Chains A and B, each alone.
Chain A
């Protein structure tokens, strides 16, 4: 039987993974109201590209960098040529990005095959630490740290930098933003690119937790959506809190009530949205 500490650490580390996976989606949806349902496909693509590069370069960090750059650029192109045309049209975004997800996932299947793969952990983070009765893997601990870093960076970016202010201005009132000289189209491309890059990063670092396989583009997307929406759209803090929260609920739910394991991720969603339709920290719409 595991101790309380063990369960809490588990829940937090899984929750950190959830936030990591959701962070890119929160960025694009929160800032641009662009619903990117190809987010899971970008996650997958990041993981597969990194694995491919790892095979060629034998360097984990080079492979990760390459994957993040490639997928980030793909995200920029994606926004410029496709998503941009359907900004402000939510339903069109749904179908467009799902279509893109189908294409990306199918091409991954065609190129890399459908056998499940487990990407390696970052070098140095293998193995576990044992304190008394508790054995806990270093890698899971690293997830908590990484999630914190990503959260703080995003929060600062959005709330404390000029770029963040420009982005927020462009979303609130595009016409005004343009008229004061903000180059909105470039900004949007950059945001989308950053969101995709984050998805790819999650695919590399987090992929060592989840593994990569066909169908991952939607199972990962589902996790990201749950966290993003429960946290409240547009709120990185909300996503962070929601991620950790869902992680903990899932952990305790599965260990205490294993026969309801199917619902431990959805239960918080249903409950919360029924009570608070805007999610935890979602902004009120005008």
Chain B
């Protein structure tokens, strides 16, 4: 081969590869079937959450032999990969190539935001499985975007009121992870806590993936009646461990995420006594939850989580929406979803006018049960909206919590 032809071979090969990727298989389906796209992370730091959502959803389908509301359900699974570019392309591919009727997805809020423009334009119904950014169902709400999980502040605000009014703590030091969820969660707690008449005296944020929590733990103001923490994932494990290591004597209360079932499994005795608020607990005493927990833990041999519950409930929501629908298209499905009311493992779920789920909030306490540590439900606050007890219009006029960061202590 001549010199020049050799040089051209590689770029041409590259282009051929590119064209090859375009040889995609069109989603083939029969007319009656409904195609659901699952767009959750399968790789990256949130892979376990994505896997839980997908498994929960798939399990719900399997319970019904792949047919719900009289239709066959086909599932298309793609990797959100914790990457906005990849996720946007996956969403577009689901809509244009696979012809999905709805998408259940997104764990990372930034990624959800990134994809929201396309999803809004395409009009395909989206049920957000985990991503918590407040404004996705508030200031930036779009008709075809729903959310089955919490907003950053929705499960924290009841905690603030409860801590002040029911538990009698008068002052609190709040700690959060330094990103949007942290700002919204801390903001929600602090606002409700102070509006109930109590006082936040210290506000601390630590970067995501802080390897050593000691410096933050040791600077906590031990004069506070309460330390309230927003943590998640491995940070929650390290934080609580450091809290106990250094013998901090102040009662610890957290956002439910910090003691999620799979995190609690690692924290064990360190977490004992922690009171938290969340829309779910494995220990919920409802028949729906018992069935769900038994099926999930029996099939997958790992402890159930609220992410799995989100996946399962998404199946339930879609079933309810599809029930009685003659023609399934974006508009009819969106309208149907807006009207659903179901009894999920977590209790009743319906959507408010912004697409956010309305559900019960449970106050839980970590207790030892038969040698294991569990989120035992000690109180229930029914039918909580994302605005807590505030008027929605007033609430939306209020600045978003991310702008109120660092303003809570000492005012």
Are A and B in direct contact (Cβ within 8 Å)?
A: yes
| Chain A residues whose C-beta falls within 8 Å of the C-beta of B206 in the assembled complex | 254, 258, 261
Find residues 231-263 in chain A having any chain B CB closer than 8 Å to their own CB: 250-252, 254-255, 258-259, 261-262
How many contacts A-B (CB < 8 Å)?
109
**Contact A116–B266 (Cβ < 8 Å):** yes
Q: Which of A116, A130, A258, A261 has the most CB of B within 10 A?
A: A116
Find residues 265-294 in chain B having any chain A CB closer than 8 Å to their own CB: 266-267
**Contact B234–A116 (Cβ < 8 Å):** yes
* Whole-angstrom distance between the Cβ of A16 and the nearest chain B Cβ: 11
Q: Is B245 an interface residue (CB 8 A)?
A: yes
Q: Which of B213-221, B334-342, B345-353 contacts A (4 or more CB under 8 A)?
A: B213-221
**Contact B47–A109 (Cβ < 8 Å):** yes
* Whole-angstrom distance between the Cβ of A73 and the nearest chain B Cβ: 27
Q: Is A190 an interface residue (CB 8 A)?
A: no
Q: Is A122 an interface residue (CB 8 A)?
A: no
Given contacts A118-B237, A251-B214, A255-B216, contact A113 B48 (CB under 8 A): yes
| Chain B residues whose C-beta falls within 8 Å of the C-beta of A211 in the assembled complex | 234, 237-238, 266
Expressed in whole angstroms, the Cα–Cα distance for A106 and B211 within the complex equals 22
**Contact B210–A261 (Cβ < 8 Å):** yes
Q: Is A10 an interface residue (CB 8 A)?
A: yes
Choice from B51, B212, B233, B247 contacting A250 with Cβ under 8 Å: B212
Choice from B48, B207, B212, B233 contacting A14 with Cβ under 8 Å: B212
Contact with A along B234-272 (1 / 0, CB 8 A): 100110010001110000000000000011001100000
**Contact B47–A214 (Cβ < 8 Å):** yes
**Contact A10–B241 (Cβ < 8 Å):** no
**Contact B205–A215 (Cβ < 8 Å):** no
Q: Is B135 an interface residue (CB 8 A)?
A: no
Contact with A along B18-57 (1 / 0, CB 8 A): 0000000000000000000000000111111001000000
Q: Is A117 an interface residue (CB 8 A)?
A: yes
Chain B, interface residues (CB within 8 Å), range? 35 or more
**Contact B234–A255 (Cβ < 8 Å):** no
Q: Could you tell me how many residues of chain A have their Cβ less than 8 Å away from some Cβ of chain B? A: 40
Contact with B along A154-196 (1 / 0, CB 8 A): 0000000000000000000000000000000000000000000
**Contact B233–A213 (Cβ < 8 Å):** yes
**Contact A7–B302 (Cβ < 8 Å):** no
Choice from A10, A116, A128 contacting B233 with Cβ under 8 Å: A116
Q: Which of A52-60, A81-89, A90-98, A134-142 contacts B (4 or more CB under 8 A)?
A: A134-142
Expressed in whole angstroms, the Cα–Cα distance for A7 and B215 within the complex equals 7
A contact set with B: CB distance below 8 Å: 1-2, 6-7, 10, 13-14, 17, 106, 109, 113-118, 128, 130, 135-137, 139-140, 209-211, 213-215, 219, 223, 250-252, 254-255, 258-259, 261-262
Q: 5 shortest A-B CB distances, which residue pairs?
A: A114-B48, A135-B247, A2-B218, A114-B47, A116-B234
Known interface pairs A115-B262, A116-B48, A118-B267; 11 further A-B residue pairs with C-beta atoms within 8 A, sorted by A's residue number: A1-B219, A10-B218, A17-B212, A109-B43, A113-B302, A118-B241, A128-B245, A213-B234, A214-B44, A261-B178, A261-B210
B contact set with A: CB distance below 8 Å: 43-48, 51, 178, 204-207, 209-212, 214-216, 218-219, 233-234, 237-238, 241, 245-247, 262-263, 266-267, 302, 406
